[in-house]
A and B are shown apart, each in its own frame.
Chain A
Amino acid sequence: RKEVEQDPGPFNVPEGATVAFNCTYSNSASQSFFWYRQDCRKEPKLLMSVYSSGNEDGRFTAQLNRASQYISLLIRDSKLSDSATYLCVVNGRGGSYIPTFGRGTSLIVHP
């Protein structure tokens, strides 16, 4: 089993739709969690951190479920500009700094 797993998609959704991605992780000792966004042929950029209590930034909501070992990202009112690959990142392996990226989920928002 991979340490961090994501459905590669692509998720094809119309503008205005709500879409959700999940990311599962295998190491229960993982300490911190993030979502990154990567546009085609560009570098990844931090979208948001994921806190135990969940967090929201505008149209984006991230949640952590430690019991089931997954994080989620919800995008409301999708825009064309949201089209990108969304990477989840899990930090920590017994306290050492080893960030593990998932392979990413591709989102395509169409008119």
Chain B
Amino acid sequence: ETGVTQSPTHLIKTRGQQVTLRCSSQSGHNTVSWYQQALGQGPQFIFQYYREEENGRGNFPPRFSGLQFPNYSSELNVNALELDDSALYLCASSPDTSNTDTQYFGPGTRLTVL
């Protein structure tokens, strides 16, 4: 177990709705990264939060937004859901930025958009 938790584990939404996914980072980690993994693809980097500020963003539209809280937990918000947003959403925490070799993934939230 990595100590990174995500909620909920599964979620079903309809097109146009909004969704909030949550991630609790491992103790001692101040950085959280979010990824989207479509079926049969590798994870795609959405953005990273370091000490409550966005620190790097992938090629995702503004309707994907996030927050990091003082306890370093994080939220991913997606507005105006589209069918293609159906995917596994992974968060990963790390003790510092740019540390791909020390990031630990949570189990993910599987989002289905109908």
The answer to whether A97 and B107 touch (CB under 8 A), given A102-B42, A103-B40, A103-B42, is no
Which residues of A are found within 8 Å of B100, using beta-carbon distances? 32, 34, 46, 89, 91, 99
Question: Given the known A-B contacts A42-B107, A96-B56, A97-B55, are A91 and B44 also in contact in the complex, defined by CB atoms under 8 Å?
Answer: no
Chain B nearest CB from A6 CB (Å) reads 8
Asked whether, in the complex, the Cβ of A101 is within 8 Å of the Cβ of B48, the reply is no
**Chain B residues positioned under 8 Å from A89 (CB to CB):** 100
Mask, A37-80, CB within 8 Å of B = 1, is 00000111110010000000000000000000000000000000
Q: Is the CB of B107 within 8 A of A104?
A: no
For A, the interface residue count at a CB cutoff of 8 angstroms equals 23
Find out whether the CB atom of A43 lies under 8 angstroms from the CB atom of B106. Answer: yes
Tally of A-B residue pairs with Cβ under 8 A? 52
* Secondary structure type dominating chain A contacts: strand
Kindly list chain A residues whose C-beta atoms are within 8 Å of the C-beta of B40: 8, 103
Chain B positions within 8 Å of A46 at CB level = 100-103
Q: Nearest-CB distance from B99 to chain A (Å)? A: 9
What is the distance, in angstroms, from B9's C-beta to the closest C-beta of chain A?
Answer: 11
Binary per-residue interface labels of chain B (86-100) against chain A in the complex, 1 for a CB within 8 Å, 0 otherwise: 000010000001101
A-binding residues in B (CB < 8 A)? 2, 33, 35, 40-45, 48, 55-56, 58, 90, 97-98, 100-103, 105-108
A-B contact pairs, 30 of them (CB 8 A): A4-B42, A32-B100, A34-B101, A42-B107, A43-B2, A43-B105, A43-B106, A43-B107, A44-B90, A44-B105, A46-B101, A46-B103, A49-B101, A87-B42, A91-B98, A96-B56, A97-B48, A97-B97, A97-B98, A98-B45, A98-B56, A98-B58, A99-B45, A100-B45, A101-B35, A101-B42, A101-B44, A101-B45, A103-B40, A104-B42
